[in-house]
Structure 1
Amino acid sequence: MNIVADIAKGERLTFLELFQQKHYDVEIPIIQRDYAQGRASSREVREVFLDALFNYLEEGLPHRDLDFIYGSVERQDDGLNRFIPLDGQQRLTTLFLLHWYLATLTGNQAAFQSTFLRRQRSRFTYETRSSSQEFCDALVAAVIDLGQLLPPDEGKQNRLSKTLRDRGWYYLSWDQDPTVQSMLTMLDSIHARFHSRPEFYGRLTSRDNRVITFLMLPLQEFGLTDDLYIKMNSRGKPLSPFENFKARYEQHIDELPWKNAGDYTLDFGDGPVVVSRRTYFAHQIDTTWADLFWNYRGVGGPYSSFDKELMNFIRVILSAAYALQKSAGKDETLEYLFGTQVVSRRPDYSDVISYHNYQQFGALSKKAFKLLTGTFDCLSNGNQPIRVHLPDTFHFDEQVVFRKVLDHSLSQEQRVQFYAYTGFLIEHKGDITGLTPWMRVIYNLTVNTVIDGAEEIASALRSVKELLPYSADILNQLTRLKTTAVDFFYRRQVQEEQLKAHLILKTPEWGQAILAAERHGYFLGQILFLFEYSGVLEWFEQHGHCNWSVAEDLAFLSAFQHYTASAGAVFATIGTAANKDFIWERAVLTKGDYLPWLTAWRRNFLIRPRDRDYSWKRLLRLPPPSAHADDIYQQAQQRDLVKQVLDDPIFNREDLRGSLTLICKNRPSDWRRYFIRKPALIGYCSQGYIRFFQSEHNIRLYKHSQQNHTQVELYTYDLWLRELENKPLGLPFDYCYYQDVRTGDEQPGIRFTELKLGRKTYRMELDYQSEGTTFEFRFYKEGGKTSLEAYQAELTTVLEAQELEWYEQDKHFWCLADTATKAMEKLLALSKALAELKATL
């Protein structure tokens, strides 16, 4: 049975006509769930429906259909017919309450009772519970003065329900009936919304201008069985968010300002039939499209139906459609639709967006409908999961990304890629010729462009939309486009894709070489630096094409393959045990200072492989041509340091570690030599950050990125690691350790404590003084500043013999050593003298 095929048989009726014209009594069967629209948890559903009824009555236009009402008709013992709804219970109950209220508001209670009351029993009733039946009977028979309602409880709008509960005919046991409580809640909402519109009664009950109607389909005409009835109604659960969305959206489709009927067709077995957009959506969502999503039920959890997955899918499509219609700029609605981290912390945020929300957002446009149905259609695959069109999953994993759509876990890049993928299928009506190069280009552009938030996602989507008409032949199109013709995406990456398009189209050898380089696990499509190293980029920028000679082609290709192999070998080790002692970073330091600046004082070693802002991948990325000339020059110099290592005669990609170790033996004389000589200094910087305080003689190493984490000073920490840490030097102090600090005002350094001489205890500090570029010893008596007389005479003699001078202002002995070697010599000599003194006291 196909109800959609027989919708013409539906009879358009008003609620009153069910009783007055058809002479039906209406009974909600026992197998139906309780009345739900009045539940406290269904506030949005209730308000949306009442808003719709209010607007229909205010406009007064005829035949505002509330969709279909399905049910069976049974002959009663008294010879009258009873209509038992299969679908439409909620709408019928709300209409019953609205008729009662407006009749009461306008003094037409007698007319209402003449229609709905027979032998003191309500002709609209519930079979679910006897208390529900009794309440309906009492409500229809009741006479209420809406001008004399009791005052509401504090913080509530319950004047009407409170008054009804106060009546003598109201039984307290009815408070336990969820249908009765929902009816009371609905009556309060109706009162709040309709109390000032008595004219609505005439419009609601008019026989000449039937405003609010529905199409009634008696089940017997379609051969529906009791089994089907039970199957559709035995759940006893509230409608899911998807079911609510579907019902309201189907109605909304007809309300959109279409200029023509469209070209939607369905085949019900007798050949294609032209149908309305609403009919097409309603049929497909229950059949063909549902078959696709049935394969993915449980993606959202082991006990989930596919309703949740469908709502997530719809959200992705409708948010993309909304973004495509908006102009550039910040938009809170975009943040909400995309579910960004910023908006997800808002108290009103939900991962499930209702129809009402979409309507408020303005996200249910004609273009949104076209994109939604087009995406559904292009992915549908009979009873099977989505088709896999791509030869491999490197640039786009169709199954994985689709599951992320259903699980609401797309990354920013994947969201754009999914739109590009489905957009291609829609644009070319399922013809996948050109899909592979298209998704390769989209992958390269999205992965190598910063897409942080909703505004960037929207801009990326709009840029993809501009390219979609050319997507079947994207390589040829790229050779004709100017870089600026592709909005949003990083300009250098666009230029790179254009250069690669020229070369891929030029010869198969270039195509193979480029695709191999792109797929390197570290480069991921960003290889413009390889074209720069091999001289190809310079030629391309000068000529705008790659029409060089055969000899030049061989030379360029050979150079490109050489640098691809060399750089590929190096960057395959980044973040692995093969580079655990930062052999690569230290080798580049031998060529020069490659560390990029984060601020005016912080710099970075690039030791975090996937750091977006500070990694080798970022350093190798060419800046846009519009960048400041000084930045372009500086970054070119830094990239050239990498090239110098790859060009070094010692470098050998077959013996990578051995050759880099030999390169590291060529140490410069400035601050770089310390890091090259002692990799643990780089290792201390877990996130790669160091700070230069005005000069290379005042360098702090940061354990983490911020200054309020621990930090050490370069030269004393180097001395500590090389000469003192875990070294049995026989020092007379009980403790020797390195003191790190958490602010720039504190002084880190080496500390020697608990030197006990007789009854007195002393300590010593070894710091680095950047102003004089020297190491400084300070010898104190424990317990605070004290005069020279407090020191033992024997100790004073030893300290002075070791060339330590008394500093009266700070009450300590001190001396300087201008190199680390002299500092160690002084430390050992002083320690020996103090140890001898300690033995005598």
Structure 2
Amino acid sequence: MRTTLWKLLSNDVENHSLKYGITIPMIQRDYAQGRLNPKSVEIRNQFVSDIKDSIIKVKNGGAEPLELDFVYGYIQNDIFYPLDGQQRLTTLYLLHWYLAFKDGILPNYSKKLSRFTYQIRQTSNDFFRKILDLNISDISIFDSENTISEYIKDQSWFLTRWSADNTIFSCLNVIDLLHSKFYNSGITLKELIDEDEPPIVFNFLDIEELGISDDLYIKMNARGVSLTGFENLKAELSKLIKDSNFNTTYLYEYQHTEGISNFDMYTYFITKVDTVWSDFFWNLRNKETNIYDDKLLNLLSFVALTNQALSLPDSFENTRNKFISGEYLPSFYQFIESGLLTEETIVNYIDILDFLVERYKVYSGYNSFGNHRFSLNDILTEKAFQDNYSLLATERIRLYAVMHFLPLVRNLENGAEELLRIERIIANLSSVNNVYNNYEDLNNSLKGLDGIIKNYSGDIYQQFISTEVSGFYKEQITEEEIKIILINKSEKWSALINEIELDPYLQGHILLLLKYSGIWDNYKSDPSLDWNEEDSLLLYTALKNYFSIYKMYFTNDGVKDYDKQLFRSAMLSIGDYLIYSKNFHFVDNKTNRDISWKRFFRESDNSKYAKSLDVLKQLFDETDLNLSDKENLKNIINKYKPAVNDWRLYFLNNPEFIFRLSGYVYFEKDNNLVYLLNASKYSVKALEMRTLLLQKKLSKLGITTEISYSQEHSKSIISQIGKRKSKVIYDYNSADEFTIIERGKGASSYNSDKQIIEYIVNNYN
């Protein structure tokens, strides 16, 4: 029997006597929709929003009421005791109370509203009685920043211990939510309780009429499984599509037993979501719980957030952070509240689901190629299915490319090859090391990618070199243009470019080798790269040889791990190659945005790095491919080290100091003072080189020492020799000398390592 809460409270239910209204029985739990955990917040926000939307639509005419399914229970002594529906009924009741209160007519309806009671706790029931006595004329709650819950808690009848009542706590939270949603909505109580056009209805069922005892029903109901997040979203999303102005804009072919039909988006979505799409995800389900729709939800989140990063970058950052923290849950309500369910997102979502299931003919050919730049499967069935909202910009850019290019290439004769070219370009553009420092960088790249997509006509290479591309690292865009021209020259050039790009450490970024071989500067003077056969051969050979030399020294992880820092020592013997980021660094193999070899390579056309790059080029040019890497490095050191007469000698003679700490060094006093740093910034706790060298020389003589920071002298000093406390301090300010301070002897100074060592040997053995 379809009815309303107001009819139950009015004892207006056919063939049933509810003279004393509704009582939530003892067997029920506390009212939970007002709790503060993410799931409860999600449920009440969704429910209240649905109620509000339904009232407005019915009020405006023509809409069907919102149906809240069944409310089960039994009737005893003219009282209805709900066994299922307590949460919905309580929220509905609070809405009736709030609208009566807001409209200033609460006294007129308090008698009927008093027919809703709670047996669970007396405190809960007292609360429902007391709020009926509130009078809007006595307060200015609607003109102040205070919440209604704060006003209620300030009443003399509100006992402090009531705040510990879970039902009362939840009611207060829901009342505040209702106030935020309905105060300026124009909705009145009379519209909510309209008998002719009720906006909210449910099916009322007395289980005793079915011959089911309440005990049996409770046991049966306890085994029930509530709707999953995606089932709720599926219903709401279907409705949104049906009511949208773009539903009939898109026609989808659907093959069935009687042939092929063209469906609008709504029909297509509801047909496939419960069949082939669900079948696909069922095979990926959690085998223990049989749950799979979390993957469907996460995929939609992934698509929606990526689109928002393009259209509303500020909102994207805020939304993503709330998903990461758990404040937001992947659900229809949250998607709507966050502005995520746009027309484009829904279209992209359907396209991706179709691709996953159908895998289109073009995908089979594309997948047959080896040496992919990134895995489409990894993005679509791993990254996009995970509950992971902090995904890297690189992955979002690649997803965006996949979403938009798949429909464009699926019907091309060379679609598989074209998709491979697109993959190659997008991989190279999106993986430049640490370009994406914030969401604005991501937004710029998505805009640039969007421009490529909108102008796409079936040939990504031709489009890339003939139209302006933006949104990515400028030098990488230029690099891609050069490589496309080279690839189009011949199979030989194409094979070489692909071989270099597939190097695991370079990851498609070969600017360094293009620069060293002369090709980069050739392009700057002649963008057509229209060479004669002789020049082409010379440049091809140069590029191939530089790549061979690079491979001699670099592995998949960066520079080889040479004993005694042989590679960096060879570099130092040629010249000062250190790169600067807050302080100077010897360059490491990690992906650090500022001090890695990847950054070193990326700046190959940057004049600020010219000195360092020239050192590496000279090392490459001094390399003989007929010798081993170690032979080459030793030869270079032997050739250039004799001419070194500056701070570099410290490290050439003591290579273990290069990464004694962080690899950062700080120079002072015209480079005469050299400090090893624990981190990128200089601090007084840095280790000064002359002190380290003294410690090393004493150690060779069998004398142990300790270095520690001295608060008194604001620097690190030798604080212990053997078992005796002492202070050995190097000072370059007044004189290039060591000072040793000993208990009972005072201070004495020595202007050479030899003198201080001789003193220590004679006095500390």
For Structure 1 versus Structure 2, the TM-score category normalised by the shorter chain is 0.7 to 0.9
- Does the 8 Å contact 1:763/1:781 carry over to 2? yes
Query: Structure 1 residues 639, 352: closer, same or farther in 2, change over 3 A?
Result: same
2: distance between equivalents of 1:736 and 1:442?
Answer: 57
Any idea what the Cα deviations from partners look like across 1:6-65, whole Å, max 9, x if unmatched? xxxxx99988999999969899xx9x9989874535344324433443455456212434
CA-to-aligned-CA distance 1:130-178 (integer Å, 9 cap, x gap): 979xxxxxxx9xx9777599999x9947979x99999xxxxxxxx99x9
- Find the counterpart in structure 1 of residue 595 from structure 2: 614
CA distance in 2: counterparts of 1:110 and 1:751, whole angstroms: 83
**AA of the residue aligned to 1:669:** N
Following TM superposition, by how much is the alpha carbon of 1:442 offset from its aligned partner in structure 2, in angstroms? 0.8
What SS does the corresponding residue of 2:749 show, helix, strand or coil? strand
Q: Which runs of 5+ in 2 are unaligned?
A: 76-81, 121-127, 142-146, 206-216
1:677 and 2:653 matched:
yes
Give 1:739's aligned residue: 707
Per-residue CA deviations over 1:265-323 (Å, capped at 9, x if unaligned) read: 65675555565544443443333332333233349xx7582233333222111112222
The one of 465, 476, 482 aligned to 1:479: 465
Report the equivalent of 1:645. Answer: 619
SS in 1 for 2:675: strand
Is residue 765–residue 779 contact of structure 1 (8 Å, CA) maintained in 2?
Answer: yes
CA contact (8 A) 1:71 1:85 kept: no
Partner-residue secondary structure (3-state), 1:40: coil
Asked whether the 8 Å contact 2:559–2:589 carries over to 1, the reply is no
**Match of residue 385, structure 2, among 399, 403, 406:** 406
In the TM superposition, what is the alpha-carbon distance from 1:517 to its structure 2 partner?
Answer: 0.8
Conserved? CA contact 2:483–2:497, under 8 Å: yes
Aligned-residue offset at 1:609: 3.5
1:704 is displaced (CA, Å) by: 3.3
Match for residue 661 of structure 1 among 624, 634, 640: 634
**Structure 1 residues 656 and 382: alpha-carbon distance in aligned structure 2, compared to 1, 3 A threshold:** closer
Shift of 1:765: 2.7
1:441 is matched with which residue?
425
**Which residue pairs with 2:211 in the alignment?**
none
* Contact 1:38/1:182, CA 8 A, preserved across alignment: yes
Match among 40, 45, 50 for residue 35 of structure 2: 40
Q: 1:338 aligns with which of 320, 331, 336?
A: 320
Partner of 1:427: 408
Residue 459 (structure 1) aligned to one of 419, 437, 444: 444
Going from structure 1 to structure 2, the CA distance change for 1:637 and 1:743 (only over 3 Å counts) comes to farther
What SS class does the counterpart of residue 714 from structure 2 fall into? coil
Task: Give the whole-Å Cα distance in 2 for the aligned partners of 1:711 and 1:199.
Answer: 69
> Helix, strand or coil: the match of 1:64?
coil
Distance 1:275 1:91, change over 3 A: farther
Q: Report the CA distance shift for 1:673/1:43 in structure 2 as closer, same or farther (over 3 A).
A: closer
Partner of 1:263: 251
Check 1:85–1:457 CA distance in 2 against 1; reply closer, same or farther (3 A cut): farther
1:36–1:238 Cα contact (<8 Å) kept: no
- C-alpha offsets along residues 499-521 of structure 1, whole Å, 9 cap, x if unaligned? 00001111111111111111112
Superposition map of 1:228-377 within 5 A: 236-254=224-242, 256-258=244-246, 261-264=249-252, 270=258, 277-298=265-286, 305-326=291-312, 331=314, 333-339=315-321, 350=327, 352-377=329-354
Q: What's the TM-score, normalizing by structure 2?
A: 0.76
**In the aligned structure 1, how far is the partner of 2:720 from the partner of 2:132?**
92
Kept in 2: contact 1:463–1:488 (CA 8 A): yes
Measured after TM superposition, the shift of residue 447 of structure 1 is 0.9
For each residue in 1:478-509, what CA deviation from the matched residue of structure 2 results, as whole angstroms up to 9, or x when unmatched? 2213xxx2222111111000000001111111
Sequence identity (%): 23
Cα separation, partners in 2 of 1:711 and 1:96, compared to 1, 3 Å:
closer
Shift of 1:193: 7.0
Report the alpha carbon displacement of residue 754 of structure 1 after superposing the two structures with TM.
Answer: 7.5
**Following the alignment from structure 1 to structure 2, what is the Cα–Cα distance between the partners of residues 610 and 156?**
52
Summarize the Cα distance change of 1:645–1:24 in structure 2 as closer, same or farther, 3 Å threshold.
farther
For 2:374, the aligned partner's letter is: F
Query: What is residue 667 of structure 2 aligned with on the other side?
Result: 692
Task: State whether residues 762 and 780 of structure 1, in contact with CA within 8 Å, keep that contact through their aligned partners in structure 2.
Answer: no
Cα RMSD (Å)? 5.5
Distance change in 2, residues 1:289/1:34 (3 Å): farther
Determine helix, strand or coil for the equivalent of 1:548: coil
Could you tell me whether the CA contact under 8 Å between 1:587 and 1:645 is conserved in 2?
yes
- Which of 693, 709, 714 is 2:689 aligned to? 714
Query: What is the deviation of 1:91?
Result: 6.4
Aligned pairs for 1:31-180 (under 5 A) are 38=33, 40=35, 42-54=40-52, 56-57=54-55, 60-65=59-64, 156=149
Contact 1:378–1:429 under 8 Å retained in 2:
no
Could you tell me whether the CA contact under 8 Å between 1:604 and 1:688 is conserved in 2? Answer: yes
**Matching residue's letter, 2:296:** L
Asked whether the equivalents of residues 569 and 652 of structure 2 are also in contact (C-alpha less than 8 Å), the reply is yes
| Cα pair distance change 1:282/1:37, threshold 3 Å | farther
**8 Å contact 1:157–1:188 — kept in the other structure?**
no
Asked whether the 8 Å contact 2:448–2:469 carries over to 1, the reply is: yes
- CA deviations on 1:591-634 (whole Å, 9 max, x unpaired) are 111111223xx20000344322112221122366xxxxxxx434
Write the letter of the residue equivalent to 2:707. Answer: Q
Tell me, in whole angstroms, the C-alpha distance in 2 between the residues paired with 1:770 and 1:526.
46
Distance 1:193 1:564, change over 3 A: closer
1:558 deviates by 1.1
Amino acid at match of 1:460: S
Larger deviation, residues 289-298 vs 263-272: 263-272
Structure 1 runs not aligned, ≥5 long: 1-10, 77-83, 133-139, 167-174, 219-228, 625-631, 729-734, 756-760, 786-811, 818-822
Contact persistence 1:711–1:742 (CA under 8 A): no
Tell me the TM-score normalised to structure 1 length.
0.70
2 CA distance for matches of 1:163 and 1:269?
71
Distance 2:725 2:3 in 1: 101
Question: Are the counterparts in 2 of residues 736 and 751 from structure 1 also a CA contact under 8 Å?
Answer: no
Distance 1:714 1:665, change over 3 A: farther
Paired residues in the alignment total 713
Structure 2 distance, partners of 1:212, 1:641, is: 78
SS of 1:363's equivalent in the other structure is coil
| CA distance 1:769–1:738, change in 2 (3 Å) | farther
Q: Distance in 2 between matches of 1:261 and 1:37?
A: 42
Inter-CA distance 473–768: structure 2 relative to 1 (3 Å threshold): farther
Once residues 157 and 265 of structure 2 are traced to their aligned partners in structure 1, the CA distance between those partners, rounded to angstroms, is 45
Tell whether the 8 Å contact from 2:739 to 2:748 is kept in structure 1 after alignment.
yes
Q: Distance in 2 between matches of 1:577 and 1:696?
A: 29
Give the corresponding residue for 2:125: none
Name the CA distance, whole Å, in 1 between partners of 2:757 and 2:178: 92
Larger Rg: 1
Match of 1:545, SS? coil
- Aligned partner of residue 703 in structure 1, secondary structure: coil
- Matching residue of 1:511: 494
Report if the CA contact (8 A) 2:511-2:604 is conserved: no
**2:356 aligned to which of 379, 388, 407:** 379
Aligned counterparts of 1:693 and 1:380: Cα–Cα separation in 2: 64
Q: For residues 294-353 of structure 1, what are the alpha-carbon distances to aligned partners after superposition, in whole Å with 9 as ceiling and x for unaligned? A: 233349xx75822333332221111122222237xxx2x22133349xx95xxx753624
What is the alpha-carbon distance in structure 2 between the residues aligned to residue 744 and residue 403 of structure 1?
Answer: 57
Q: Is the contact between residue 587 and residue 597 of structure 2 (CA under 8 Å) also seen in structure 1?
A: yes
Q: Give 1:704's aligned residue.
A: 679
